[in-house]
A and B are shown apart, each in its own frame.
Chain A
Amino acid sequence: MKGKFLEYYRRKLASLRPPSAMTEREFGFLLFRERIMVRHKAFRDFKVFTDSLLSLVPSDVYYSTAYYRQPDLDMDQKGWLGSDVVFDVDADHIDTPCKETHDMWACPKCKETRRGKKPTKCPKCGNEKIEEKAWLCDRCLIAAKEEVLKLVELLAEDFGIRSEQMHLFFSGHRGYHLHLVSDKLKTLDDVQRKEIVDYVIGLGLDPAEQGLYQGPQDLFLENGHSVVIGPQLTDPGWRGRLAKGVYRIITELDQKQLIELGFRRGAALQIINEREQIENEWSKKILWSSFQDKWGITDQIWRNVIEKALTMMALPAKIDTVVTTDIHRLIRMPETLNGKTGLKAAMVGLDRLEEFDPFSEPAVFEGTQTIRVMEAPQLRIRDQTFGPFSDEKVELPLSAAVLLVAKGVAMPES
């Protein structure tokens, strides 16, 4: 592995770019054999950095999202100057149905490796320390990509972040890192950053503050029903987003999903039958009062509908919020290799995110390699799929072989 990484870095050294304000950042190298992190490194210029890279050949390269006066000193003496705002959108934090079929576990003691959910102890040797091996698959990464698209749109519309301020990278494993480059945001502290995170995941949102509430008690419609006041699709920020969420619930969900939200069978069916008409009316103006009236929306349904609208429109609450709020964090350096997969943490232009394929460009190794695979689900490299494998010897494209070895499910055959 180390040899392959070295070969790659030698070949591609010219394409590596230093991060902005490189001299103010701390670097960290995770070493292959020792599995320890060499931290608190600082580099005067990029040449010194690449020399270290070639002599240490780490499995993973990190740099601080923070800028320091003296990045090589101890934590409390570095002199924090600011930090990029970074979002980590990872398939680990999204519930995809395929995880059950491709995630694996391994017993470090007897080397037993199996597919599925991690047991509490190894059925073979009884060892209780089991390693989880999350797999990376197309569907999981597509789910992550959809969340990234949502995030980018939200940051642009609500936060006014321009696309040139957003730098997106594939993590080389199961997700994406979005770095915001802005002098204004640089000096926000952890509490203030958390406000941004909470906005993005919709945490603590009060519908009444976003313009959705029951009208005053003494105000009634002609038919004696109470008045509901609500936001419209074109409203800015969470108001419009909340309106869109409810709009999508009414125009997109199937009968079963509507019933799950508490709608009566008849109401759910009626919504589906009248969809065209509702779409027509609602795209002009959402009539909240008649919405409540017509489908008998109780307080409980309201709560469910709002909750659902939030889940549809916000980022999953399980995204790694710590990455964004931690102002001293080390993050994978773009364009370097991920030691867990051998894939490159490739930069993804926002304009080509839709067509970006994490199993093409980041698969950087050329040639083939014969390996012995113990147990592995199917994987794809560029246009070819391989596996699933179970205790077999195979010759694979080098990128696929490196990935399986890095994942710890295969051994190179000499």
Chain B
Amino acid sequence: MQALLTKLDLAKFPFTTEASEYIKSFNIEPVELARPELLPILERAIDRIKQGVFSGKISAELTQEDVDILAYPTALMLISVIGDDRARRRFALAEAKRAYQLLRDELPEKLLQVSRGSFGWDARIDDRDVGDSHFEFALHFEDYVRNSARIRDLRWKLVNRVLSEGYALLPREDFARLLEEEVQARVLDRTSITGLAVPPELEKYVDPLRSIIRARSQYLAADEMPRAVMAAAMPPCMRNLLSLLQTSKHISHMGRFAMAAFLLNIGTSEEELLKMFKSFTDFEERIARYQVEHIAGKRGSRRKYTAPNCNTMRTHGLCVNPDELCATITHPLTYYRRKARTLFRGRRQRNFSSRRRE
């Protein structure tokens, strides 16, 4: 069932193990890319990055096979040296989307070759009908969850798949979609080295690209967390936990953790938090202080804990009365930031109008 990848395939799928072997055989040093006969590679790489970062899409069209193949590692190198994380992520996603587009039209044998040969998947062609669904692939659940856990749609939860003796049965489209996740992870991995410098010979080509990417980043300034704690911006899950706390009702361990981490994340001080926790019937100052400091990252792992995301909240039965805003977010902190922003805006406007009345 082994399907060999042709040179055309390597141009389509330059992230494969076969492609990197092929690329190695050229033995090109980065400095050499400025040579006139290799310049098309550099230009194609820059174009790839521009497409990926600015339109979020990299064209699946192929120009000249060798140029396309070699432009891929070149683009990875450039995006690494530019060192803008937001652009790097967007580029990785675009590369992955391009791969998905091309992969889903391939024959099952070829998809299987890419999945096994380049990503070590435990997969096989299964061709099975269950009810009125047809599945072409069987993929070990471990490889499945490694890649599906990042996809948000409920359809991708393992519980919504047909699992048989360790293998998830999948249609071709979904198999290709999971490969997209692998490609994205690989691009991110290969571009994660920091502190690289561009050879001076390439500087005049890279510099304009770097400037426009920087400009873009500054434009997209990050969502900022409001400085003071805004009770009105709390998501329903946290409001629920807080009301349980205020009425001295029992809250599970996970519930306490979620609430403590959330409150610390939005800027509540440890002392304030301890005061709030005093209402627990099993409150013990020494232990509570330890736990709070632990969550705040002062003890134990010294890792500052982030409040659990919506999925985790649901798993532990802590997601209650989700509202409209909840439907658009996957993390209680995102809810808080967005709500805080709209509330803040509203307040500013009100202030403005009242001042006018004066």
A and B held together in a complex? yes
Please give the residue numbers on chain A whose beta carbons come within 8 Å of chain B beta carbons, in ascending order: 74-76, 120, 128-131, 157-161, 184-185, 188-189, 191-192, 194-199, 202-206, 209-211, 229-232, 235-239, 317-318, 321-322, 325, 328
Given known pairs A76-B302, A321-B316, the reply for A188 and B162 (CB within 8 Å) is no
Please name all residues of chain A whose beta carbon is closer than 8 Å to the beta carbon of B72 when the two chains form the complex.
Answer: none
Q: What is the number of residues of chain B that contact chain A, defined by CB distance less than 8 Å?
A: 43
Q: Out of B133, B148, B314, B317, name the residue touching A195 (CB < 8 Å).
A: B148
Q: Is the pair B163, A204 in contact by a Cβ cutoff of 8 Å?
A: no
| B311 interface contact, C-beta 8 A | yes
Select from chain A the residue with minimum beta-carbon distance to B303.
A76
Chain B residues within 8 Å of A198, by CB = 157-159, 315
B158→A160 contact, CB < 8 A: no
The answer to whether A161 and B166 touch across the interface, beta carbons within 8 angstroms, is yes
Q: Closest CB-CB distance, A279 to chain B, in whole Å?
A: 21
Contact A128 B158 (CB under 8 A): no
For the A-B complex, the count of residue pairs with Cβ-Cβ distances under 8 Å equals: 127
Q: Across the interface, which residues of A come within 8 angstroms of B132, CB to CB?
A: 211, 229
CB distance from B196 to the nearest CB of A (A): 26
Name the B residues within 8 Å of A205 (CB-CB).
157, 159-160
- Pick from B140, B142, B281: contact of A129, CB under 8 Å: B281
Minimum CB–CB distance from B162 to chain A (whole Å) comes to: 5
Interface string of B140-172 (1 = CB under 8 A from A): 111001101110001101111111111101000
Interface flags for B204-248 (1: CB within 8 Å of A; 0: not) read 000000000000000000000000000000000000000000001
Q: Nearest chain A CB to B244's CB is how many angstroms away? A: 14
| B160 lies within 8 A of A188 (CB) | no
Residue contact B164 to A158, C-beta cutoff 8 Å: yes
Residues of A contacting B302 in the complex (Cβ-Cβ under 8 angstroms) = 74-76
Which of B122, B130, B154, B317 is within 8 Å of A204, CB to CB? B154
- Cα–Cα distance between A27 and B111 once the two chains are bound (Å): 45
Given contacts A188-B145, A195-B149, A322-B253, whether A204 and B303 have CB atoms under 8 Å apart is no
B166 touches A160 (CB 8 A): yes
CB distance from A268 to the nearest CB of B (A): 28
Secondary structure dominating the interface of A? loop
Q: Which B residues are in CB contact (< 8 Å) with A160?
A: 141, 165-167
**B163/A238 in contact, CB under 8 A:** yes
In the complex the two chains form, is B157's CB within 8 Å of A237's CB? no
Complex-state Cα separation, A206 to B155, whole angstroms: 8
Instruction: List 26 interface pairs A-B (beta carbons < 8 Å), by A numbering.
Output: A74-B301, A75-B302, A76-B302, A120-B281, A129-B281, A159-B163, A160-B165, A188-B146, A189-B149, A194-B311, A199-B163, A202-B159, A203-B159, A203-B314, A205-B159, A209-B155, A229-B132, A230-B131, A235-B162, A236-B130, A236-B162, A236-B165, A236-B169, A238-B162, A322-B253, A328-B301
Q: Which residue of B lies closest to A129 (CB)?
A: B281
B residues in contact (CB < 8 Å) with A: 122, 130-133, 140-142, 145-146, 148-150, 154-155, 157-167, 169, 248, 253-254, 281-283, 300-303, 311-312, 314-317
- Contact between A184 and B159, CB atoms less than 8 A apart: no
Question: Do B254 and A204 have beta carbons less than 8 Å apart?
Answer: no
Q: How far is the CA of A235 from the CA of B166 in the complex (A)?
A: 14
Pair A206/B154 contact, Cβ less than 8 Å:
yes
B300 proximity list for chain A (CB < 8 A) = 74-75
**A231 and B133 alpha carbons, distance in the complex (Å):** 10
Query: Considering the chains assembled together, what is the distance between the CA atoms of A211 and B283 in angstroms?
Result: 48
Pairwise interchain contact B163-A158, C-beta atoms closer than 8 A = yes
B131 and A231 contact, CB distance less than 8 A: yes
* Chain A contacts for B312, CB-based, 8 A: 194, 325
Q: How many whole Å from B276's CB to the nearest CB in chain A?
A: 17
Q: Are B163 and A236 in contact (CB under 8 A)?
A: yes
Give Cα distance in the complex from A194 to B158, angstroms: 10
Q: Is the CB of B301 within 8 A of A75?
A: yes
Q: Which chain B residues lie closer than 8 Å to A188 at the CB level?
A: 142, 145-146
